[in-house]
Structure 1
Amino acid sequence: MKTTALLPVITYPDPSPETAIPGVLAMAAALGAQLHALAINVEVRSISNALSRKLVDVSKMTREAEAQCREHGEAFLAKLVEEAKQAGVDTITGAVASNATLLNDTAAIEARYHDFVLCAWANNPTARLTAEAIIFGSGRPTILLPEVDPVRELRNVAVAWDGSRVAARAVADAHEVLRRASRITVLTVTDEKPLSETNAAERLAQGLNARGLSAEAMPFGTEDGPIEVSLQDRALEIGADLMVMGAFGHTRLRDFVLGGVTNGILRDVRLPILLSH
C-alpha cells in the first residue's frame, strides 16, 4: 500500500513560499510517501454596482487577482516538479479553484483523501488559518514544516504525552512515523496541570516497547515557562527530527477556540510537528 501526502499550495492572500520546497520534499521522502501537490487558486466574486463601475473596473481587478494566483501556483508547482525529480520523490500535481472565503475548507476537504498533510509553515495569518482548518477539519495528521534544515530521516521522534484522548489519537495517527524511528522519547510535563496518572510517560513508553519500538520516558518540569516552549526546547535538546502531539480545540460557529498549548505552538513552530485532532 502506497502512502500519500498532500501539499496544499496556497495562492491567496499570502502565497506559499517556494523556499519551503526542500523541506517538503525531504519530509515526503522520509515518510516514503508519494507527494500530491495541489494549488488552491482563488475565485474572486465580482462586486459591481453603479459607483464601482464609475470609479474602477472591478471585473478587470478580479481577473488580474485570479491570474496572479494562478501564476503563483503554476510557478510553485513547476519548481516543485523540477526539484522533486532531482530528489527522486514521486510527485503528482494539480489545481483547484475556490471562493476566497472557502479556501481553507477546500484544503481540509482535499486532505481527507490522503494519509498525511504537509503544511509549508510561514509566519503569516494565511499559513496559520490554513493549518488550523486542516488540523481541525480534515481528520488527517498534519505536519507543520517551518523553514529549518530539511529532515532527511525520521530516526529521532519526540511524543508530547499527557495521557489524554487527543494525545492517544495523535500517537495512533503517527504510527507510520513511529515505526520508522530508531529512538522515541515520550515527553510529559509534570507540573503544568494535574495528570490522571503520575506514570503516564512510563506507561506509553512501555506500550511502545511492547510493540517492538524503541521508546523511553522523559517526564520533566517547565520551571514556570510556557509549556509549548518547554516541549519544543526539550525536543530540540534531544535532537528530535519531529514532534508528535495532539491538537486541542473546539469548533463553534465555524471559529476555532484553541487550547493554550496548541495556540502557543502555532505562534512559534520551531521544528517539524505532527498535529492530530
Structure 2
Amino acid sequence: MALYAPLGSFAVDRGPAAYAPALCQAIGASLTGLLFNIEANATPSADGLSLSAQEQQARDRDQANAANAAQLEQRCSALSVPARTVTAIDHSQGLINYIADHARLHDVLITGSRRSGPLSDRIMAENLLFETGRPLLVVPEAHDGQFAARRIVAAWDNSRNAARALGDALALLPQIEDVVLLTVGDEKAIRSTLDQADLVAGIARRGIAASVERRFLNGRKIGEALQDTAIELDADLLVMGGCGHSRLRDFLLGGATISVLDNPRLPVLLSH
C-alpha cells in the first residue's frame, strides 16, 4: 500500500495517515509513506520576509515533515506493519508523475481530501486517479482512522469502471462480507442482459452476501445520493468507478466522482 500525506494535511491520529496503517495491519500488507514538504520550493511571498527568514521557514517545514515520517514509522511499528517513508521529491518529471511512479508499484494509493492550497489533496486525488493505474482510496480528514470493510456499497451502472472498482475492492479486501450494489434510478439507464438475481448470484458465489438497492436523487447531486445511502446502510466503504460524462469539465471525471471528491464523508475507493 502507498500513502500520500503531505506536510500540510498529515495527522497520525486521524484521517488517511491513521487509516493506512490500520488497513495494512488488517490485510497483512506493507506501507510506503509518501510524505512530502510540497511547499519547499514555493516562490517568495510578498509579505516582506527576508530571504534568510524564508530559508528558515523551509528548514522548519523540512524538520516537521521528518517528524511526521518518524511518527508514521512508529505507528506502523506498533501495529507490526512493515513500513518505509519517502520524503525527498524528484521534481524532474513533476510532482504528480513522481507520486504516480511510486503508486504504480503498490496495490492502492491512500490519500486525503483537504481542499486548501494550490496542490491540495483534492486536486492531487483528481489527477492521481487517472495517472496511476491503481485504485485510489480517499479518506476524510476527520475520519477516526479505524479500518473496517465488512459491508461495502458499490455504485453500480454496469460500466467497465464500476466493474473494475468492485473487482479491485473484492481482490484487496478479504474482510468483505456484504456487498450492496447501488443504482440511482433517475440517472442514466443501465444496459445489461442480466437481472438483479444474476448480479446477486454472481457475488454470492464468492461466499459474500449481496443485494441490490435503488435510490432516486430527489434534488441531490449523485455523489450526495451515493454517500447518503452508503451511510444509511451502515457501509464501511463506498466503492465507485472514476467515470466520465460529456460535459467540458467532466471530459474524464464524471459528476458523481467530482461531488464525492469534493466532500467525502466516509472512505471511498475509486478505480479508473
**Aligned-residue offset at 1:270:** 0.3
Query: 1:1-59 CA distances to partner (integer Å, 9 max, x unpaired)?
Result: xxxx0012323xx4434443322322222333211112234462889xxxx9xx9865x
Instruction: Select which of 21, 26, 30 maps to 2:22.
Output: 26
Q: 1:75 to 1:221 in 2, by over 3 A?
A: same
Q: 1:239 to 1:9 in 2, by over 3 A?
A: same
Q: Tell me which amino acid in the other structure corresponds to 2:224.
A: V
Which residue in 2 is equivalent to 1:9? 5
Distance, in Å, in 1 between the alignment partners of 2:128 and 2:87 is: 17
Instruction: Note if 1:118 corresponds to 2:110.
Output: yes
Instruction: Select which of 75, 95, 100 maps to 1:108.
Output: 100
Q: Tell me which amino acid in the other structure corresponds to 1:139.
A: G
Instruction: Select which of 72, 76, 79 maps to 1:80.
Output: 72
SS at match of 2:183: strand
SS at match of 1:248: coil
- Identical columns (%): 31
- Bigger mean CA offset, 98-107 vs 20-29: 98-107
SS at match of 2:90: strand
SS at match of 1:73: helix
SS at match of 2:23: helix
Instruction: Extract unaligned runs of 5+ from structure 1.
Output: none
Distance, in Å, in 1 between the alignment partners of 2:194 and 2:263 is: 29
| TM-score of the superposed pair, with normalisation by structure 1 | 0.81
**Aligned-residue offset at 1:191:** 1.5
RMSD: 2.9
**Aligned-residue offset at 1:120:** 2.9
Instruction: Note if 1:245 corresponds to 2:237.
Output: no
Which residue in 2 is equivalent to 1:44? 41
Which residue in 1 is equivalent to 2:217? 222
**Aligned-residue offset at 1:159:** 0.8
Distance, in Å, in 2 between the alignment partners of 1:221 and 1:198 is: 22
**Aligned-residue offset at 1:174:** 1.7
Instruction: Note if 1:142 corresponds to 2:136.
Output: yes
Q: 1:26 to 1:163 in 2, by over 3 A?
A: same
Query: 1:185-227 CA distances to partner (integer Å, 9 max, x unpaired)?
Result: 1111122222213966554322111233221111222223211
Instruction: Extract unaligned runs of 5+ from structure 2.
Output: none
Distance, in Å, in 1 between the alignment partners of 2:98 and 2:259 is: 25
Q: 1:178 to 1:17 in 2, by over 3 A?
A: closer
Instruction: Note if 1:128 corresponds to 2:122.
Output: yes
